[in-house]
Amino acid sequence: MPDGGAGQKFENPVTITIDGREIVAEQGDMLLQVALDNGIEIPHYCYHPKLSIDGSCRMCQVKTGAPKLAIACNTPVADGMEVDTQSEEVAKARRGVMELLLINHPLDCPICDQAGECYLQDYSYGYGRADARTTSPRRKGVKRHPIGPRVVFDQERCILCRRCVRFTSEISKTNELRVFGIGDHSHIGTAPDAPLDNDYSINTADICPVGALLSSDFHHKRRVWFLEETQTVCPSCSKGCNVKVGMFKNEIQRLVPRRNDEVNETWMCDHGRLHYAFAQDETRLRDAVVRGESSNGTVPVVPLDKALEDAAGRIKSTADEHGAAAVGILGSGALTNEELYQLAAFARAVGTPNVDVPVPTGEADGFLIQAEKVANARGAREMGVVPGDGGKDASGILAGAAAGDIKLLYVVDARSLLAASDAEAVQAALDGGATLILQDANVSELTDKAAVLLPGQVWVEKDGTFTNHEGRVQRIRRAMTPAEGSYCDGGIFTRLSALLAGTDPSAARFDARATLAEIAEKIDGYAGMTFERLGSLGVKLGDAAPAPAPAEPESEEGSAPAEPA
């Protein structure tokens, strides 16, 4: 493939051969990355595509025609270079590196979280030797040491590749980690009174090629080979970091970042990574509830159909009695585009202009963490969940309820509303006497106040799309079988719309794929978007239309074919 594989264009193309295969690359690019880009594996520990070159592990040595073997990570390619990654000389060098790295390694894989995704294990199998030639006792070091509030350190397993050191100096720029000591005493350490504590600290566990740095949250939780991993997007802010959700027996075990150079490179923040308990803890709502005049004290659980009928009845009678504008709808930026599109349709069916999405906001850090603390605030605006002509925005709707103008409040996701609004404004709205219909996945202060409660779902139970703050539309995928008793949020909207229109609600099934097709047809920027077109890395608004390019196949590893990140 002398054209450089996937049609890449080079400013100064050079041709090299790796193991007899001709490869075109950019002059000066490093040999290791060129090899990885072309699907040729050269084992390595310290090299990481998003960090500076260290050259310390010596594992990537190859023969380049120079008198000595060269480390591929720090060897610029030059025209005519002939590289050999397979000869006995190279194999012997790798065996030597492996042997030295393993002299003091505790080999405690059976109790190590990294087992199963460990470079040391993989390369030991591929390039090491079966026996040890040393008999002296292995060096002892600290184990299970909380090097920071969210990261556990095992000194004995560390191979001193310095990836974590470079991460805290180059990416988080917090400089908590360095190599201390000399020679055989070298170890990773933190300064006195300055633990590894920054918003991105657990990424050090991801990039640690061995089991030396581990996520405290995942520590001894589950063997990684039992995890079923699903590619999706983090829901915790509008950045939309690409992640993999690791499931075991329908429970989230961990979130890890997935490489997407257009969004999060290969990182994610600690908050987003650890914010998943709400999907599966005891706060999940599993019952539809309708509170009448007579339900004194007990929680009147009803089938969902009954609750939907009751909700539609209340909306209709409010609109008939006081006009449609007496209904206020507060949606959620935690919903998918497809659900929001159906929510907008539902609002039109009600006929009220008083529709908005309250968006909780907080600190942004100029790196990954965004101010909007839900994934899909932008999607909500684009799907039309915004005030209609003369309609009230979120705070206006709350004020209207407090003043008695809004007689019925339809709230989706009370926790977003509460986080986005002034507590007094919410209280005043409830005191105004409006009927509350609440569609929600989790318990909140509003749950008990709802006349009708419709149990919804969370992101990890859904298929659909989010639009991030930059207008990148990304696919989220169902990783979890929905909580028993909960109901698909999009389906609640379509069925309510049908009930209001007097058609058969059971026929109004929500289909995310079909809804996206409708969005693609009707909403600016979304033309050409399908689940397949979005692939694993998403597409920027406008970039899918028209769609002359062949659909990208969904790749397992994002844009990083050879780097497990």
Partner 1 sequence: MAPVLPEALRERIVAEFPKYPEKRAVLLTALHFTQETFEGWIPKETVPEIAALLELEPIEVWEVVYFYAMFNSEPVGRCHVRVCTNLSCCLRGARPLMRRLEELLGVRPGEVTEDGRFSVGEVECLGSCGTAPVVQINNEVYRENVGIDDLPGLLDELRQRLDARDAEGESEG
Binding site for partner 1 (CB under 8 A): 175-182, 189-194
What does 495-531 look like in DSSP terms, one character per residue? HHHHHHHTS-GGG----HHHHHHHHHHHSTT-TT--H
Residue with Cβ nearer partner 1 (66 or 182): 182
Residue with Cβ nearer partner 1 (192 or 550): 192
Answer yes or no: are the C-beta atoms of 375 and 240 closer than 8 Å: yes
Cα dist from 440 to 104, 289, 331, 402, whole Å: 53, 12, 10, 22
Q: Alpha-carbon distance 554 to 531, whole Å?
A: 10
Residue with Cβ nearer partner 1 (176 or 440): 176
> In whole angstroms, how close is the CB of 301 to partner 1 at the nearest point?
57
> In whole angstroms, how close is the CB of 174 to partner 1 at the nearest point?
9
Residue with Cβ nearer partner 1 (190 or 238): 190
Residue with Cβ nearer partner 1 (181 or 542): 181
Answer yes or no: are the C-beta atoms of 60 and 41 closer than 8 Å: no
Residue with Cβ nearer partner 1 (54 or 176): 176
> In whole angstroms, how close is the CB of 173 to partner 1 at the nearest point?
10
Strand residue runs (E) in 351-484: 355-356, 408-412, 435-440, 452-455, 464-467, 472-476
List b or e across 535-565, with b for residues whose CB sees 16 or more CB atoms inside 10 angstroms. bbbbbebebbbeeeeeeeeeeeebbbebbeb
> In whole angstroms, how close is the CB of 187 to partner 1 at the nearest point?
9
Residue with Cβ nearer partner 1 (193 or 293): 193
Secondary structure of 326-351 as H, E, C letters: HEEEECCCCCCHHHHHHHHHHHHHHC
Q: Alpha-carbon distance 122 to 296, whole Å?
A: 63
Residue with Cβ nearer partner 1 (178 or 316): 178
> In whole angstroms, how close is the CB of 178 to partner 1 at the nearest point?
5
Residue with Cβ nearer partner 1 (50 or 187): 187
> In whole angstroms, how close is the CB of 562 to partner 1 at the nearest point?
32
> In whole angstroms, how close is the CB of 170 to partner 1 at the nearest point?
13
Q: 457 CB contacts (<8 Å, ≥6 apart)?
A: 441, 482, 483, 486, 487, 488, 489
List b or e across 237-262, with b for residues whose CB sees 16 or more CB atoms inside 10 angstroms. bbbbbbbbbbbeeeebbbbbbbbbee
Residue 370: name the closest of 476, 232, 271, 265 by CA: 271
> In whole angstroms, how close is the CB of 184 to partner 1 at the nearest point?
11
> In whole angstroms, how close is the CB of 158 to partner 1 at the nearest point?
15
Going by the DSSP 8-state scheme, the letter that residue 169 receives in this structure is I
Cα dist from 449 to 393, 394, 549, 554, whole Å: 22, 19, 52, 45
